[in-house]
Amino acid sequence: MNPATKTPQTTGTMGLLSQLNRVVYRRATEDVIGMKLKQLITLELLVKNEGCLQQELGATLMVDPNNCVLLLNELDDRGYVERRRDPKDRRRHIVVITPAGGKALAKAEARLEALEGEVLVNLDPSEREQLRDLLARAMDGQDGGPDPSCLD
């Protein structure tokens, strides 16, 4: 019996993706990059489109609105973000990154890039660029891709 009748590929792309992501998560701990990886990603997104609505943020990051609150509470406690009421609709919150948040982000990104260098040690620079491009294109148009819908 041959379960993989025609594909002798050792592991599927999704499996490889999951495994490599596990490598990153295992190594990108808080004491290594200075904050949780999820927080770093959140701050990156807030830099990209400053003045993002909280619900848009949650949708882009693919976290439930409830989880989004907790995530922002952590960043708020650290002084990395600020929640302001939307003057146009006072139910909503506009989330902005603070100077302290930007500074912490820059430091964390530097640490993460160093880690990236270790994780992707088998790939030369042009291949890394290729990988980043493919991942970005795959994400594009996904639920949480580089969607400029945060803009007013």
Partner DNA sequence: CAGATGTCAGACCAACTGATATGC
Partner DNA sequence: CGCATATCAGTTCGTCTGACATCT
Residues within the interface to a second copy (CB under 8 A):
1-5, 9-26, 28, 37-38, 40-41, 44-45, 47-48, 61-62, 99, 102-103, 105-106, 109-110, 112-113, 115-116, 119-123, 127-128, 130-132, 134-144, 146
| 10 vs 87 by CB, closer to a second copy | 10
Among a second copy, DNA, none, residue 70 binds (CB under 5-8 Å by kind): DNA
Segment lying near DNA (by CB under 7 A), choices 40-48, 67-75, 115-123, 131-139: 67-75
Sole window of 10-18, 90-98, 107-115, 117-125 interacting with DNA (rule: CB under 7 A): 90-98
Percent helix, percent strand, percent coil in the chain, to nearest 5: 60, 10, 30
What's the closest the beta carbon of residue 118 comes to a second copy, in angstroms? 10
Q: Which of a second copy, DNA, none does residue 149 bind (CB under 5 to 8 Å by kind)?
A: none
Find the binding residues for DNA in span 5-64 (CB under 7 A).
36, 38, 53-55, 58, 63-64
Asked if 73 interacts with DNA (CB under 7 A), we say yes
Q: Which residue in 17, 20, 89, 143 binds DNA (CB under 7 A)?
A: 89
Instruction: Report the candidate in 101, 96, 104 with the shortest Cα–Cα distance to residue 54.
Output: 96
Quickly count helices (H) and strands (E) in the chain: 7, 3
Work out the end-to-end distance of the chain between its first and last CA atoms, rounded to an integer number of angstroms: 58
Residue 67 corresponds to which tokens in the numbers above?
């989880």
3-state SS class at 19:
helix
Gap between the Cα atoms of 71 and 50, Å rounded: 17
Taking residue 79's Cβ as centre, other Cβ atoms within 10 Å add up to: 12
Would you tell me the crossing angle of helices 99-119 and 37-48 to the nearest 10 degrees?
120
